[in-house]
Amino acid sequence: KDLFISAFFAFSRGYYKMSAMSRAANRKLEARNPQLVGILLAWFAKNARDLPWRRTRDPYAIWVSEIMLQQTQVKTVIPYWERWMSELPTIESLANANPERIHKLWEGLGYYTRVRNMQKAAQEICRGRREESQINSAQAGETKSNACQFPDTFDEVLALPGIGRYTAGAICSIAFNQLTPILDGNVIRVLTRVFGISENPRDKNANARLWSLAEELVTHASRNTKHASPCSHFNQSMMELGALICTPREPKCAVCPITEHCFAFQNNRVNEFPNLEKRPVATARRFAAFVMENRGSFLVRQRPAGVVNAHLWEFPNIELNGEPQDASAAAKKLFVFIPKEVRSLCTIKHSITRYRITVEAFCIGAPPGFKVGQSCRSAPSSRHARSARDESQWLALSELHKLSFPSAHKKILKAIDTKT
């Protein structure tokens, strides 16, 4: 019995000692987070890039920048954003724009579903605000209607087409200084390294922990009463640190302001975080595209809804599926005739997600009696073929420049300019 009592008290002392150590460690971590926030706010104030969308608090302008920046580098986005804001400066102008115009403004950015969702969202905003205004005006006995206004609550922003949790949080924090966390690739990299999160950040539990950390940190920022826009600037500081310092390869730890608080740096394990899955091996795809000319006009076709690069224009083309076909054989398969002359125009290599694509473009002439419908044999579906027959057109070079093309076919058009 005495032995049991002694063992019990020994265990109790050890348990409470461990609990005290754990509580001390938690207090240390809790004390570290406000320090991290303060350091990053100060660092951002001195090192933030002068980006055009940072000179405004217009939620529409910030929304446009956030959508453009998805999977696209900042230096690429800047001229697109400036041109967009010049031509479509308001939500209402986007809602009412011709689809061809928005595709042309987006031409070269890729992932065109983004811009179509933006227009859908703009139309929803204007329709909702118009209906709300009409109800309010009727109740007040007025006829005046309000202009379209971007919603200013997280739930309303999140409900818009094409906007997920990250984008809604970014817009609400940057435009309205709201306490909304963000978690993009840059922020994930910073958080996994600083807090030593070794699990795959895409796993459910690890992802939930990262969101929780992001929320905890921006909450600390919100308590900084000396800063005019603490939530906005803190979230941007996390993204900026990931973009400029805490980069995927060769991070600049020597100039990082938070190495003292970084688990990965302190343990010489920076390159181990984040623990992402290996990318799948790239798949090679090869296409033959044909520039068919007839009396100064060129044959092009518009891609239908529901396929990659929907609504954009392209030169008739066919995927070669790894077969060692020459241009004449590909043209016969596509047009059901063998062209008298095939001249090489250009070869374009580019990447889309996991595909490494080669497009070889050739110039051919249209034979007597050629019908436009013959350019549709390479369509991925019968619906696509019917649409292509309806949308294929002979257009002059000046008219082609008014259309929006996928990046590879835009380069083909540029090569035509050089040749003519």
Count CB-CB contacts under 10 A for residue 284. 10
291 bridge partner residues: 363
* Residue whose entry in the numeric block shows the structure tokens 């009727």: 138
Q: DSSP characters for 51-82?
A: -GGGG---HHHHHHHHHHTTTS-HHHHHHHHH
**What gap in Å lies between CA 328 and CA 342, rounded to an integer?**
7
Q: Find the DSSP H helices in 250-313.
A: 263-266
Q: Which DSSP category does 255 fall into?
A: G
Q: Which of 66, 92, 314, 360 is catalytic?
A: 66
Listed in sequence order, the residues at least 6 apart from 149 whose beta carbon sits closer than 8 Å to its beta carbon are: 91, 125, 129
The DSSP call for residue 89 is: -
- Name the nearest CA neighbour of 259 among 44, 31, 40: 40
Cα 247 versus chain centre, distance? 18
Rounded to 5°, angle at Cα 166 from 165 and 170: 120
Is 360 annotated as catalytic? no
The CA distance from 314 to 388, in Å, is 10
3-state secondary structure of 109: coil
Token reading at 76: 């690429």
Report the greatest alpha carbon distance in the chain: 110
Residue 286's contacts (CB-CB under 8 Å, 6 or more residues apart) are 319, 320, 321, 322, 357, 358, 359, 360
Q: Is the dihedral of CA 164, 170, 172, 175 positive or negative?
A: negative
Q: Which amino acids are annotated catalytic? A: 66
